Structure 1
Amino acid sequence: MIIKFTQHTLDKIEKIIEESGYVIRYERGNFQSGYCILQAKKVVVLNKFFQTEGKINTLIDLLPQLEINFDALTHESQKLYDELMTVGNDK
């Protein structure tokens, strides 16, 4: 799968995370790795100064660490999630 670093792709990845009950916030601050996960509150905070490509790569890297409820995802989100997990395992 070739990932296009567009706002549309970012929106689709954000949708997967949001469908699993997480809130995504873009904030500024001192981020060691560009993101922070507040597991108990299901909040993902990303560095708002990242370009679209950086946001997409960070969210893809985060997906395995999140509790994604596959059954709660729409069919489109399930398909993309499977593809992203396959790409992530190929790294």
Structure 2
Amino acid sequence: MVIKYTKHFLDKLESLFAASNYVLRYEKGNFKSGYCVLKETKIVIINKYFPIEGKINALIEIINELNLNPEDFKEKTNQDFLSDLRQTTLKF
């Protein structure tokens, strides 16, 4: 899958989190990696001062870390999008 660093692609990632059990928030903070995952409370916090590329990369990294199951999503579009993201590797 080709990653597009656009607002539309970021919206698709955010809608994936909205359909999951995790809450996505943008907050200020001094996260070393640019994000924080509170797994017990199922909250994902992204540094709000990140540029759009940083937000997208962080969300993709978090999705891979959380091992979300495509079958847990009701909508087929979210299932397909998550499956495509799983096959995506980020190169820094």
Q: What TM-score, normalized by structure 1, do the two folds share?
A: 0.88
Distance (whole Å) between structure 1 residues aligned to residue 68 and residue 59 of structure 2: 13
Contact persistence 2:70–2:80 (CA under 8 A): no
Question: By how many angstroms is 1:67 displaced?
Answer: 4.8
User: Looking at both structures, which has the greater relative contact order when contacts are Cα pairs under 8 Å and sequence separation is at least 6?
Assistant: 1
Structure 2 unaligned residues grouped into runs of 5+: none
Q: Which runs of 5+ in 1 are unaligned?
A: none
Q: Give aligned-pair identity as a percent.
A: 44
C-alpha deviation, 1:70, in angstroms: 2.0
Aligned length: 90
After TM superposition, the score normalised by the length of structure 2 is 0.87
TM-align CA RMSD? 1.6
**Counterpart residue number, 1:87:** 88
Point out the structure with the larger helix share.
1
Which runs of structure 1 show a deviation greater than 4 angstroms over 4 or more consecutive aligned residues?
none
